[in-house]
Structure 1
Amino acid sequence: MPIDHINLARVDLNLLVALDALLAERSVTKAAARIGIGQSAMSHNLARLRELFGDELMTRGPAGMQPTPRAMALADPVRVALGQIETLVSREQAFDPATAERVFRIGLPDSTEVLIGPALLAYVCEHAPGIRFRFYAAEGKGLLDDLDADRLDLGIGVGAFPGGQVHHKRRVLATDSYLVMYNARKVPVTPPMSLEDYVRLPHVLTSLRRGERGVVDDALEQLGLSRKIALVTPRFVAVPFLVAGAAVITTMHARLARYFAAQMDLSLSPPPIELPQLTTSLLWHASYDSDPAHIWLRDTIIRVAAEEREKTAKGPR
């Protein structure tokens, strides 16, 4: 479609920057601070935006300012457009990781942080010393929301992400299976563990959501069985210590289980039930698709993840 230059020339593109900030912050004061202008100037920008789009865009409610349906529909196209403009006019035609200074905010579960965090940090410290990271706990719908609000640059998550939209870019980092992990000195079971022992022994469940149910419970239910859950924790890194100290078992991602078992002299067994495959994905907002630094980081994480996956590709003990 040809561009209407005359009509477009009447639009102050700075208003789109203001709109993006308003939608991210849901506050005139915070949006003004985000882009470095005064509160009155941001209020003036909101008035101009309302006139431009013929919509209130932001309305006051009990929980503060809320976007209208029209504003929500504009949010992602505006973010993508601004990202493309930023790339177009950027003075940095090439990104040099050896000299660049930048902070990247990454949302990820602690299981992924354990598996690839050390190798990623080591590589960046050696090859890109000006790059810094801020890791945040995030998963599922919350991870996508944080990407949309520009609270995160990248997300790493496990699962299918059914709430993902076309602007949520995704690259599969790894697929994995499950292993049962336990302390053989407290749980005298010889692998492969039987279904009878699996159901009889108390379990530690790692869940980032509330409740006492996971994929294991779904699989057992299909067999008319259930298990006893002794403890639920949202932290994968706590599980090997719990398993080492008590007569319990846990079912976790195979690569993570191999890593913990090797570090803490724990035993592993294939689960006696069929469980679905796990998929770990790298996610980002389309507005960062062409950002040279972002591309470098994505490529680096993909490479580091592949290298670490090869190191932990051995079978269970």
Structure 2
Amino acid sequence: MIVIDKNNLAGIDLNLLVALDALLTERSVTRAAARIGLKQSAMSHNLSRLRALFSDELMTRSPHGMRLTPRALSLIEPLRAALDQIEALVIRNEVFNPATSERIFRLGLPDSTEALRAPTLLAHLCEVAPHVRLRLFSIDSLKVLDDLDADRLDLAIGFGTFVDGQVHHKRRLLATDSYLCMFNAERIGLQPPISLEDYVRLPHVLTSLRKGERGVVDDALEALGLHRMVALTTPRFAAVPFLVRGAPVITTMHARLARYFAALLGLSLSPPPVDLPEVTISLLWHASYDRDPAHVWLRGVVTKLFATPDQFAGPARRASA
């Protein structure tokens, strides 16, 4: 822990701490400069000043890029905490007005959630917060907590309960979902409901963000002493319906998304012939933004959006009949 004489604080440029946070996060002078809107030469100068301030190199070159020194690694947590406290002092009495704010929010979410919910969210923002901007990013459930810690995301929407998160990882349950099978009835020569025998016989399309060809369906089939053949694996949920429409295959996907694409593309739906676990959809954020008025507002908007009845349920039910 670094102890600084308060009488000497006037001689320290606190903006250097912002630069240090960017350097420790990005581990690159170029990326750190872009992160906080400085020229690379200015960030290089800041790094030189920081090295003098801490009497340590902080970052050294290695065959794999810049490497943090042990002293720099020890600074990450206390620096983040100090900046959070300073930020809290600044924004505590801040008034957020969505009608005039020009805030940029970085939202991480799966492409399936983007297809289903982002149009309504965007329409709402255009109406009540016309100058607020969204930057959407794909997320990996294994890395999303790290992205929040590194301040690469303001909010994230993910599948799962994220019970392995730490105390500063805030979570709110948005919704739950189930699964449906989706297929082109004409191409596979079957009408819903689909039997377990046909379900195992047909080739499958699997959506997975991880390596391998295994999902919740495989766990359920294994419990029955069965297995399926996965013909194609893709990380993109939104591509699956078009693959299913054009080939004699079947997929098992989240029910809300399946209903939407079934209605859009004229595909058939069927309950899975195996028991599958419930899907949990969670909103995630870092505790640093708990009291940020803008974040409080956006979290409320997203939560209300997910509480709205599924606008795609009606037409899709007709498509799956």
**Under TM normalisation by the shorter chain, which class is it?**
0.7 to 0.9
2:45 to 25, 40, 43: 40
Provide runs of 4+ in structure 1 moved above 6 Å: 313-316
Distance 2:293 2:275 in 1: 42
Structure 2 vs 1, CA of residues 87 and 310 (structure 1 numbering), >3 Å: closer, same or farther? farther
Give, as a single letter, the amino acid of the residue that structure 2 aligns with 1:115: L
Distance 1:38 1:73 in 2: 21
Q: Residue 211 of structure 2 aligns with which residue?
A: 210
Q: Secondary structure at the match of 1:185?
A: helix
Structure 2 vs 1, CA of residues 47 and 273 (structure 1 numbering), >3 Å: closer, same or farther? farther
Q: Residue 201 of structure 1 aligns with which residue?
A: 202
Larger mean CA deviation between 219-228 and 19-28 belongs to 19-28
Measure how far apart 1:143 and its partner are: 2.3
Q: Residue 260 of structure 1 aligns with which residue?
A: 261
Structure 2 vs 1, CA of residues 312 and 46 (structure 1 numbering), >3 Å: closer, same or farther? farther
Measure how far apart 1:199 and its partner are: 0.1
Unpaired segments of 5 or more residues in structure 2?
A: none
Distance 2:263 2:187 in 1: 17
Distance 2:116 2:128 in 1: 20
Larger mean CA deviation between 262-271 and 280-289 belongs to 280-289
Q: Is the 8 A contact 2:92 2:292 kept in 1?
A: no
- 1:53-92 equivalences under 5 Å are 57-68=58-69, 71-72=72-73, 74-90=75-91
Q: Residue 231 of structure 2 aligns with which residue?
A: 230
Structure 2 vs 1, CA of residues 28 and 241 (structure 1 numbering), >3 Å: closer, same or farther? closer
Q: Is the 8 A contact 1:141 1:161 kept in 2?
A: no
Deviations 1:106-138 (A, max 9, x none): 121110101111100000001100011111112
Structure 2 vs 1, CA of residues 44 and 73 (structure 1 numbering), >3 Å: closer, same or farther? closer
Structure 2 vs 1, CA of residues 56 and 87 (structure 1 numbering), >3 Å: closer, same or farther? same
Q: Residue 155 of structure 1 aligns with which residue?
A: 156
Give, as a single letter, the amino acid of the residue that structure 2 aligns with 1:109: P
Over the aligned positions, Cα root-mean-square deviation in angstroms equals 2.6
- 1:180-199 equivalences under 5 Å are 180-199=181-200
Q: Residue 281 of structure 2 aligns with which residue?
A: 280
Measure how far apart 1:33 and its partner are: 5.3
Measure how far apart 1:45 and its partner are: 1.2
Q: Residue 125 of structure 2 aligns with which residue?
A: 124
Larger mean CA deviation between 38-47 and 74-83 belongs to 74-83
Unpaired segments of 5 or more residues in structure 1?
A: none
Deviations 1:184-238 (A, max 9, x none): 2222334332111110111111111222111111111121111011211111111
Structure 2 vs 1, CA of residues 33 and 238 (structure 1 numbering), >3 Å: closer, same or farther? closer
Measure how far apart 1:42 and its partner are: 2.3
Structure 2 vs 1, CA of residues 167 and 71 (structure 1 numbering), >3 Å: closer, same or farther? farther
Q: Residue 114 of structure 2 aligns with which residue?
A: 113
Measure how far apart 1:91 and its partner are: 9.2
Q: Is the 8 A contact 2:92 2:291 kept in 1?
A: no
Q: TM-score, normalised by structure 2?
A: 0.86
Measure how far apart 1:170 and its partner are: 1.6
Deviations 1:149-185 (A, max 9, x none): 2222221111244653332222221111111111122
Q: Is the 8 A contact 2:157 2:282 kept in 1?
A: yes
Distance 2:258 2:7 in 1: 59
Q: Residue 291 of structure 1 aligns with which residue?
A: 292
Structure 2 vs 1, CA of residues 56 and 141 (structure 1 numbering), >3 Å: closer, same or farther? farther
Q: Is the 8 A contact 2:170 2:284 kept in 1?
A: yes
Structure 2 vs 1, CA of residues 267 and 311 (structure 1 numbering), >3 Å: closer, same or farther? closer
Distance 1:6 1:79 in 2: 17
Q: Is the 8 A contact 1:32 1:42 kept in 2?
A: no
Measure how far apart 1:252 and its partner are: 0.2
Give, as a single letter, the amino acid of the residue that structure 1 aligns with 2:157: I
Q: Secondary structure at the match of 2:173?
A: strand
Structure 2 vs 1, CA of residues 241 and 310 (structure 1 numbering), >3 Å: closer, same or farther? closer
| Equivalent pairs, count | 309
Q: TM-score, normalised by structure 1?
A: 0.87
Q: Secondary structure at the match of 2:158?
A: strand
Q: Secondary structure at the match of 1:230?
A: strand
